[in-house]
Amino acid sequence: MKELIEKYWNDPVWSKVIASGLIVLLPLLGIKIISLLSKIPFLEILSFGIPLYWIFIAILVYRVLGYITFRKADSISVHERVRDELVKFNEKGLILFCGGGR
């Protein structure tokens, strides 16, 4: 079992899925425990004055901005790696032209 967990935790995609699941489930578990102990309905505890759709909009905006930021940073590094490889090939005389750059 431990090896299976380590396999998925070390995978770049599944580690993010597991972490996201924990980030969502742990607070919900805490809220459920509080609702059981205080005898207040679960949904009443969740509604604390901010409409739920604003929370979803905030999460969506955060994720989109993060995706754009990381994609841009990653694409720059990919372009630099490709350019460096083309320069290496050009030094060996394998290609005649290494176009543009930043």
Report pLDDT digits (tens) over 46-69: 766 667 787 888 889 888 887 777
Q: Which of 9, 28, 48 is the last residue of a domain?
A: 48
pLDDT band at residue 75, thresholds of 50, 70 and 90? low
Listed residues 48, 64, 84: the one ending a domain: 48
**Is 27 found in the same domain as 2?**
yes
Give the domain range for residue 73. 50-95
Give per-residue pLDDT as tens, 30-45.
Answer: 888 888 888 888 777 7
35: in domain = yes
Residue 102 lies in a domain: no
What's the chain's length in residues? 102
- What does the angle CA 25 – CA 31 – CA 33 come to, to the nearest 5 degrees? 100
Residue 22, in any domain of the structure: yes
Same domain, 69 and 37: no
pTM (2 d.p.):
0.40
